[in-house]
Amino acid sequence: MDTWPVIVGLVIVAFLILIPVVMAGQMVYGIIASWVEHRRAEARRITVTLPGLGEFSTTDNALWFGEVRQLQVSLESEGHPPTEKQVKQLTAVLDQLPLLTSRAKAWLAEHEDLSWLAGGAAAFEQLGIDFESESRSVLELIHPDDTDGIYRVEFRNGKAVSSGRDD
């Protein structure tokens, strides 16, 4: 009796069983690795209170995040908390927010296809601001008809210069 077809069949069955086992193992490893990295990042978290802005925190001592005037705000400050100068500059940009928002909506209406969004550019709402410097920032907007999208309008010296949509 020839046993090689049985052996080949068993090898094929074992291989087919190993595929989902390996895939499941990779998924479990990915979940555990992500959880460990999150725990490490939380252990590195630094939180400071910035005058007039509130609490900002970082896990990499470079990008600082906080909530100001119901907006998600991020700013770069490599190696140290945001400086008094950065706080003043950010406050000045936030004071111009109504003007920047109207400019952002006008930019989006002119440069993005909003035909599928009810209310067009007028329905956009502020979400956040990425503050890079006194002359550069990015305003993030959301639209009620586009629940997956965040529209970003980049400003240089108070003028909109580009836009894009992130998922």
Q: Give tens-digit pLDDT for 66-75.
A: 999 999 999 9
Tens digits of per-residue pLDDT, 4-60?
888 888 889 888 899 999 999 999 999 999 999 888 888 889 999 999 999 999 999
- State the average pLDDT over residues 147-159: 95
106, 112 Cβ separation under 8 angstroms: no
- The contacts of residue 74 (CB under 8 Å, 6+ apart) are 63, 64, 65, 128, 129, 130, 131
Instruction: Quote the pLDDT of residue 64.
Output: 97
54, 65 Cβ separation under 8 angstroms: no
Instruction: Quote the pLDDT of residue 128.
Output: 97
Mean pLDDT of the chain: 93
Structure tokens at 142: 């959301």
1, pLDDT greater than 70:
no
Strand partners, 128: 72, 140
75, 128 Cβ separation under 8 angstroms: no
How many beta carbons lie within 10 A of that of residue 59, not counting itself? 16
DSSP 67-123: EETTEEEEEE-TTSPPPHHHHHHHHHHHHTHHHHHHHHHHHHHHHS--TTSTTGGGG
pTM (whole model) above 0.75? yes
Taking the domains of the chain in order of start, what are their residue ranges?
A: 1-44, 48-166
